[in-house]
Structure 1
């Protein structure tokens, strides 16, 4: 449990076991603090049977990922992804179908649920915001390099892209 005080009344939060789940509950007003996962979105951009990846700066610095970001509270998931991709690659993305949905447990401070969309975009990506490099890679290039992925679920998505013959 990360929080000690109730966001409603300021009372003390204690853990209550409910249906085999520990949830913080206020000892003063009874408010139950549901700690739900955040939603992350990622765009799968494929060109010449290679997928776009970016090298991160800031959190998970030096590792690579499928370009991604968080959905803000007031945003639609598709709008959030278009915004994030503009911020990270400078490109205007057109989103297709959802390719994958995964629960991400790599960060103990924040459980997330990720949505990976197939996408298209014209032009050359440039690294912006959370990225210092962007490039297209085949699965074979990923496997033969020393490239470290930031998020284990990206590895699952990339393997699925290879298995479904989207990338080489």
Structure 2
């Protein structure tokens, strides 16, 4: 790796128990951080959630997941949510708010920090898979064992939490996009 400040080849050094890269010329340290991502629980009028089946070239192929993806540089987490749901599921929806934040550590060495959004879809259009999704559909939450195999343990946690909060509290407490607390959905 080359220094982003001066272009000199960086060298490895130990900082505690972590190997980092430092420029021998200017001293700049390159920190490897988790990738910022979003995931969305999209709920329809029947209370079903939207899931997509991952394609053959995706990590954890042929398993299912919530609409999700990386936040692009210069893009807000809200814009990323709208874009990812449209790209992967062919549906336009606006997020209601943040309902969780989770961390993922994948088998391929990628780490991510995921802002989990809640969105409602009130339309009648069927989802149309796109991007790296090969199938898309709505799934009832009556029995978690009836969901298809999920790619990410974080998705199982998020869906279970959403289901539990909905059953126990008649809704889920969430933060609005403006930062005010709102109870129920």
Deviation at 1:138, TM superposition (A): 2.5
**Within-5 A mapping of 1:46-85:** 46-47=43-44, 48-57=46-55, 58-59=57-58, 60-85=60-85
**Within-5 A mapping of 1:6-155:** 6-8=3-5, 9-17=7-15, 21-47=18-44, 48-57=46-55, 58-59=57-58, 60-121=60-121, 122=123, 123-144=125-146, 147-155=148-156
TM-score under structure 2 normalisation? Answer: 0.78
- Gaps of at least 5 residues in structure 2 are 171-185
Contact 2:12 2:19 (C-alpha < 8 Å) held by counterparts: no
Classify the secondary structure of the residue corresponding to 2:114: strand
Q: CA RMSD in A?
A: 2.1
After superposition, the C-alpha distances for 1:38-81 in whole angstroms (9 at most, x for unaligned) are 11111211122221110001212101000111100111111111
- Gaps of at least 5 residues in structure 1 are none
* Structure 1 stretches of at least 4 aligned residues deviating more than 4 Å after TM superposition: none
Classify the secondary structure of the residue corresponding to 1:91: coil
Deviation at 1:21, TM superposition (A): 4.5
Contact 2:10 2:21 (C-alpha < 8 Å) held by counterparts: no
Contact 1:15 1:24 (C-alpha < 8 Å) held by counterparts: yes
Deviation at 1:130, TM superposition (A): 1.1
- Separation of aligned partners in 2, 1:13 and 1:41: 33
- Equivalent pairs, count: 162
Deviation at 1:158, TM superposition (A): 0.9
Going from structure 1 to structure 2, the CA distance change for 1:82 and 1:126 (only over 3 Å counts) comes to same
TM-score under structure 1 normalisation? Answer: 0.86
- Separation of aligned partners in 2, 1:25 and 1:42: 33
Contact 1:53 1:137 (C-alpha < 8 Å) held by counterparts: yes
